[in-house]
Structure 1
Amino acid sequence: MSYVDGFVIPVKLTDRQAFIDHARHMDAVMIEEGALRIVECWADDVSEGKQTDFYRSVDRQEGETVCFSWIEWPDKATRDAAFARMMENEEMMNTPMPFDGKRMIFGGFEPVVVLEKKHG
């Protein structure tokens, strides 16, 4: 069984490299804490919808885009323990974020369907 955390984050277009640098630093910590895989994505082909869309979900402002990220964990218990340790890590909690964390949406998800292409 696995567990997935998902995130949608508003980021200033001018902060792309700062976002990448921040992600590399913080993601390395999460890998050390037990994460199996982390994927950070910068919007490339994201449409504006008529009722809802990724941009509205984070109240995108002028000069911003959205980033979509996920973390794969072996299970929820590993994720919960890692998050508890990270919340106690002063360096991690005091590292400035190159995005508006108040408008970030996130949550934990239990996979119900997982398909993978077989190699070979």
Structure 2
Amino acid sequence: MTYIDIHLVPVPRANKRAYEDMAALVAKVLKEYGALRVLDSWLDESGPDAATYHGESANPESQEYGSFMASAGANPDEMVAMCLIEWPARAIRDMGMKSLTSDPRVQFEGQEPVFDGKRLIAAGFKPILVGGGQA
């Protein structure tokens, strides 16, 4: 069964290009270690309102909705990045992430941090639906 890693992180707007470059490198390495797909994206700050995800009868007041900006703890000088990594199985994910975190290509010591790693929100997920059918 596939396994999904998701992380959400605030990134200083000034570091947008640096994050994109880092994400491209990390995605390449993750795929070498077994990831099926890596999807990195920026929050569309002008995107759809949360109300568009509910039917009219189930819509609470707009101020009652949470936001990705707030969830990520982002301030106005930051953007929110979300990454989804799809793995063929949890065991492959565990081996792949162990390999990734020790791979010299993604060791960034001595470089200016692209984002504050302590503010990264991350978790693993077990799919329940894939392509409209049960996982």
**Shorter-chain TM-score: which interval?**
0.7 to 0.9
Partner of 2:31: 31
Q: 1:24 deviation in Å?
A: 0.5
How many residue pairs get aligned? The number is 116
After TM superposition, the score normalised by the length of structure 2 is 0.76
Which residue among 57, 60, 63 is the counterpart of 1:50?
A: 63
Give the Cα–Cα distance (whole angstroms) in 1 for the partners of residues 78 and 49 of structure 2.
14
Which residue among 103, 110, 131 is the counterpart of 1:89?
A: 103
Q: Is the 8 A contact 1:46 1:54 kept in 2?
A: no
After TM superposition, the score normalised by the length of structure 1 is 0.84
Q: CA RMSD in A?
A: 2.1
Partner of 1:99: 115
Q: Label 1:12 to 1:46 Cα distance change in 2 as closer, same or farther (>3 A).
A: farther
Give the Cα–Cα distance (whole angstroms) in 1 for the partners of residues 128 and 81 of structure 2.
24
Q: Is the 8 A contact 1:47 1:53 kept in 2?
A: no
Query: Which whole-Å deviations, capped at 9, do the CAs of 1:46-70 have from their partners, x for residues lacking one?
Result: 7597353211122112310111110
Partner of 1:115: 131
Q: Which runs of 5+ in 2 are unaligned?
A: 51-61
Give the Cα–Cα distance (whole angstroms) in 1 for the partners of residues 48 and 72 of structure 2.
14
Q: 1:18 deviation in Å?
A: 0.9
Give the Cα–Cα distance (whole angstroms) in 2 for the partners of residues 84 and 74 of structure 1.
16
More displaced stretch, 19-28 vs 54-63:
54-63
Which residue among 70, 88, 94 is the counterpart of 1:74?
A: 88
SS at match of 1:87: helix
More displaced stretch, 55-64 vs 67-76:
55-64
Give the Cα–Cα distance (whole angstroms) in 2 for the partners of residues 60 and 7 of structure 1.
14
Query: Which whole-Å deviations, capped at 9, do the CAs of 1:22-73 have from their partners, x for residues lacking one?
Result: 0011111101000010001111127597353211122112310111110000
Q: Is the 8 A contact 1:58 1:105 kept in 2?
A: yes
